[in-house]
Amino acid sequence: MRRPRALVLLPAVAALALAACGSSGGEAPSPAGAAGTASSGQGPRGELTVFAAASLHEAFEELGHQVEADHPGVTVSFSFAGSSDLVSQVLAGAPADVLATANEATMRQAVDGGAVAGEPVVFAENVLTLVVPPGNPAVVTGLDASLDRAKLVVCAPQVPCGAATAELARLEGVQLHPVSEESSVTDVLGKVSSGQADAGLVYTTDATGAGQAVQVVNVPGADQVVNRYPVAALAESRHPELARLWVDTLTGDAGRTVLADAGFRLP
């Protein structure tokens, strides 16, 4: 009769011993605490949403692939558009973690609206150039009288490439007469590369990325108008640690290499 009793008591004694060991330095860790420790060892996880100026498309896509490869638990999604449109979306409450604009003026609007966490960091610079379709059918020679007989497209004044266009025209002492004003620099590039326009003012990085789809016409004074690109984590980010990861990667060696290869100037 004693043997069965002993078999019943042994598990109870063992359980008490384990409980005593676990409480020697305080309360035993909860299952939730243990799970949190395990997950913290797996590195950052979650979906990072980046709002970025259209001219950053190719460079950011490449950097996004690098971030995902280096951090398997992270996925990166993008929304590319004109900077002013992106700022309007952010101020209206669109969910995003990071904002990168094509000039400091549009970023300042986001800062003044309370949408930015911390101080924006300038990570790249860009200048304009004039592009024409291959073969230059309208024989455009620059920001000069040759544009009078050409279908010119530019960015709208409220977006960074449009503001830069207006400043460049002022410095060159010319008055431009575009047939259309686009909401992003990629739209300008698209109209020129498709032959819908005879010429367009775009960033040098866009012209480089287009390859043989367009031909570049040198504008000597373009270096006088420099757009500085700032990036910032957003105050309403659902993943602030991922936002910081993106900013650190972009401003670090990996980001600078990708940006330089895309033709951006590095501050």
Binding residues, by number, are 55, 83, 185, 203
Distances (CA, A) of 85 to 15, 44, 102, 180, 229: 63, 30, 12, 18, 16
Distances (CA, A) of 192 to 136, 148, 168, 182: 10, 16, 20, 12
List Cβ neighbours of 233 (8 Å cut-off, separation of 6 or more).
97, 98, 116, 117, 118, 240, 243, 244, 246, 247
What percent of the chain is helix, strand and coil (3-state, nearest 5)? 50, 20, 30
- Residues at the annotated binding site for molybdate? 55, 83, 185, 203
List Cβ neighbours of 185 (8 Å cut-off, separation of 6 or more).
54, 55, 82, 102, 155, 159, 161, 202, 203, 206
Strands of the sheet containing 199-203, edge to edge, are 180-182, 152-155, 199-203, 128-132, 215-217
